[in-house]
Amino acid sequence: MSKPTETKCVPQSLSFSGSGFLSVYQMGAVNALWDLAPELLHSAPKVYGASGGSIVAAAVVLRLNIGKGFSKTIVEAAKDASKSVLGPLLSKFNLVTILQNALQHILPDNAHEEATGRLYVGVTRLSDGKNIMISDYKSKEEVIQALICSCFVPIYCGLVPPSFRGVRYIDGGLSGFQPRYGKTSMITVSPFSGEIDICPRDSPLCHLCLHVCNTSFQLTAGNLSRISYALFPPPIWVMLEIEWKLEMFHWAWGRRFTEE
């Protein structure tokens, strides 16, 4: 009797969508995966990210402490933005400066060595609107600049777009909201409900999805609220509720593994 052939699990890449201030959802998902399925993160050959999702992708590749670093930065930025009705549109609120300072402090000096060939940052080339994936870095500063380019929403973040190696780029989510390359098998993570592997689950009765910028959005009231929250941060209690829901996801998934 012949032995059954063993099937090897092929490592899957990861893709983090644009998310803005709701990147706290993706950060919570990553924290849960580090505890429950760290092999998924360790073995991912490529980690893609666009806009706010690029920050989360960088945290995965560089194995950074999300809770003490990026998550705290996002929450503090949300607090500052919420001090006025106009929030992020006020001239004294500079999201780019906040991100630059945080990245300079949090990223290790050898970030470019760890990120090259594995961290794929989605950006939109200003000259023609084409989606570009940056994956080669010569220094820590280039990693930071690529992330800043990916997160730069015109007017919202300023009038003059940042550049990478002399070429100006803007928010990667504008041309590829859920970044991917070719037919690579991957796990997708987004704070918006839709045809995504890890995302909020809205009403199962709603089957209407809008396909745009390389992703799908479920047409629900919850998603409409999330879209506004991504640019204009929700009250802090809402952000804490997002974290609480992920803790419940963490608990439920862990219980399932235990029962198996």
Q: Active-site residues: which are they? A: 51, 171
Report the SS3 class of residue 52: helix
* DSSP label at residue 1: -
Which residue type is seen at 124?
T
Q: List beta partners, residue 168.
A: 163
* Integer Cα distance of 109 and 144 in angstroms: 11
Radius of gyration of the chain from its Cα atoms, rounded to whole angstroms = 18
Which residue intervals of 63-170 are DSSP H helices?
A: 70-81, 95-106, 111-115, 140-151
Residue 211 structure tokens: 């396909």
Q: What is the DSSP letter of 120?
A: E
